[in-house]
Structure 1
Amino acid sequence: MAKEPLNVIVGVDTHADTHHVAIITDYGRPLADQEFLAVGSGYRKILDFIAGHGTALAVGVEGTGSYGAELARVLPEEGLTVLEVNRPNRAQRRLKGKSDPLDAYQAAQSVLAQRGISIPKDKDGPVECLRIIRTARSSAMKARTIAVNQIKGLLISAPDALRTKYRAMATPALIAALQRTRPSGHIADPEYTTLLALKTLATRYRALTEEITAADNALQEILDSYAPLLCDLPGVGPEVASQLLVTVGDNRERIGNEAQFAALVGVAPIPASSGKTTRHRLSGGGDRNPNRALHQVVLVRMSSCPRTKDYVGKRTAEGKTKREIMRCLKRYVAREIYRQIFNPVPAPSITDLRQKRKQLRFTINAAAGHLSQWPSVISRLERGLIRNDTLATNYRQWLHEQAAPQLN
């Protein structure tokens, strides 16, 4: 009688050059472990090693976003279920020690216990392209900041003639002026050397600006084809939208519900009560990058969104601090963004506003005066450069009211 194949669980401790693989049974007994090279031939040997010990129920891999990225792509192609495993518990490391075999077995045990595991992100779609572009853009942004800070620092201690001429300029004018300079003199002259260094830094600043602009255009192009409606939300631009999509990943099904998304971006409320005080605070866990993006959305809405301004006024009257109000707003924004990512809803159309106003022969200044807004705000609203659903509704209602007497 043929022996039934053994069900096993696999754990992998990944490194730059090697991966250590450990196999346990589905009831936790260690079977074998071995080290393999982190190359194509090594991945094939890993598959043979796993198949030689039984049927793999799941494979727990550490670092699916770094050293284990390629392995996490290879294993699913062979029909294996891959789970990302968190780093081993530090308390257990202190008690049991640390080595590659121990970490690999710990990964397998985590899968068996369903503890500290998650579905890894797919890295074969447009969101992965967003992540790569954002990586290059981030380094360019940092380098540009360093360049302009160095320019300002050199001007502080520059000879008086240079300091007087350039220090009062705003950054765009300063960069343009320094690029137009033609330094001449001896290399041992401090004034000549300073101006030469300033021109070099200004040229670098301009090149980095062009690089950032190209990255922004690439991000916008991907967003227009992959998630065009996400930027329809107030306060959400290409930078925020791309960061939130990178956090979710190409395989959106890895996030089961809105509460999981809130925990992932660090805005899930958790109890923080003590004694007679009953309160909640936002979780300190999750990814800090999307949390920062949500913070930026809240700041924009607090300054430009009427509905958010009304909410802030209401909560302030109730005795809430600005920090507490922003925590609540971040939670609401996370819920709205989750719905827009998973069930996109287009922004209300505003193409009829300008046409209707011109039919009624009203100027932008007249409309702005009736709505208590700046003419530039009405103009930007009509052209779709800003989104303000409340203002658009009030504007449309006012136009209908003005059209009614003419129809009669």
Structure 2
Amino acid sequence: MAKDSAVKAQRQAANQLRAILVTADPTLREKLATLPSRALVRACLELSEGDDDTDPVARATRFPLRMLAERIEQLRAQAQVLERRLSDLMRCHHPRLVDAVGIGPHSAAVLLTVMGDNGDRLRGEASFAALCGASPVEYSSGNKQHCRLNRGGNRQANAALHRIVLIRLRWDARTRAYYERRVLEGKTRREVIRCLKRYVAREAYRLVQEDRRSLSRTPAEVPDEDQA
């Protein structure tokens, strides 16, 4: 939650900076408007209000631009610190999950939050998929059977599954091969992505259970070398 709020506030500050720049002095606007986001923030950090002879409107514009740039940098630093701590926490307790292709610390944390908040409702990987809105919703049209978008479940978890699928479609050869095979069978891109989200939900649930079993093992349960 803290990381998401920092990222959201950073995005809001960036939008406010751009909005102020629209009404800025033409010379300043032409100098900054074409810069990419990171370069724009750095340039605004270096803005000075000028001396007493500077136009008061120009001074009043430069000051909030610099303040917003400072806010963006502070929020960016906070988000990075929280991301590192989240990554350390995930690797400590769920190394198998974050080692899976496409599952980063943030997506792993979102999926784990859904599981933790609904421990009494999870009876298996199918229940977890339903909580993530990744379970298929079948409907028929004539003699054809289709699966439509499931609009239920936790939408943050569903978005995390979607990000994982997109990353795998780009970098994972096995996922790309599956995608191409299902497209040749007549599936649309959206239908294939929904199938892949279901598979990712099943895999994530299995990896979490494996990590939990591994962490729950006590030294007494580990076989002694002499006994082995």
Structure 1 residue 254 displacement after superposition: 4.7
RMSD after superposition: 2.0
* SS at structure 2 position matched to 1:280: strand
**2:156 and 2:76 mapped to 1: Cα distance?**
22
Taking a change above 3 Å as real, the CA distance of residues 148 and 252 of structure 1, as seen in their structure-2 partners, is same
- Superimposed CA distance per residue, residues 68-119 of structure 1 (whole angstroms, 9 cap, x where no aligned partner): xxxxxxxxxxxxxxxxxxxxxxxxxxxxxxxxxxxxxxxxxxxxxxxxxxxx
Q: What residue in structure 2 maps to residue 331 of structure 1?
A: 198
* SS at structure 2 position matched to 1:343: helix
Higher share of residues assigned strand: 1
Task: Give the counterpart letter for 1:316 in structure 2.
Answer: V
**1:276 and 1:254 mapped to 2: Cα distance?**
35
* SS at structure 2 position matched to 1:155: helix
* Pair 1:162 & 2:28 matched: yes
* Pair 1:255 & 2:113 matched: no
* Pair 1:221 & 2:88 matched: yes
**1:248 and 1:329 mapped to 2: Cα distance?**
19
**1:224 and 1:319 mapped to 2: Cα distance?**
40
**2:41 and 2:137 mapped to 1: Cα distance?**
48
**1:233 and 1:268 mapped to 2: Cα distance?**
21
**1:221 and 1:254 mapped to 2: Cα distance?**
28
| Matching of residues 1-400 of structure 1 within 5 Å | 135-185=1-51, 189-249=56-116, 252=119, 254-344=121-211
> Normalising by structure 1, what TM-score?
0.49
**1:286 and 1:202 mapped to 2: Cα distance?**
37
Taking a change above 3 Å as real, the CA distance of residues 223 and 285 of structure 1, as seen in their structure-2 partners, is same
* SS at structure 1 position matched to 2:21: helix
**1:266 and 1:323 mapped to 2: Cα distance?**
14
Task: Give the counterpart letter for 2:155 in structure 1.
Answer: R
Structure 1 residue 282 displacement after superposition: 4.4
> Normalising by structure 2, what TM-score?
0.86
Higher share of residues assigned helix: 2
Task: Give the counterpart letter for 1:224 in structure 2.
Answer: R
**1:329 and 1:241 mapped to 2: Cα distance?**
17
**2:118 and 2:210 mapped to 1: Cα distance?**
15
**1:282 and 1:251 mapped to 2: Cα distance?**
22
The count of corresponding residues between Structure 1 and Structure 2 is 211
Q: Larger Cα Rg: Structure 1 or Structure 2? A: 1
Structure 1 residue 212 displacement after superposition: 0.6
Structure 1 residue 250 displacement after superposition: 7.2
**1:185 and 1:150 mapped to 2: Cα distance?**
25
Q: Is the 8 A contact 2:183 2:189 kept in 1?
A: yes
**1:262 and 1:282 mapped to 2: Cα distance?**
13
Q: What residue in structure 1 maps to residue 220 of structure 2?
A: none
Identity of aligned residues (%): 38
**1:197 and 1:284 mapped to 2: Cα distance?**
41
Q: Is the 8 A contact 2:44 2:65 kept in 1?
A: yes
* SS at structure 2 position matched to 1:272: strand
Structure 1 residue 267 displacement after superposition: 0.9
**Bigger relative contact order (CA 8 A; separation at least 6):** 2
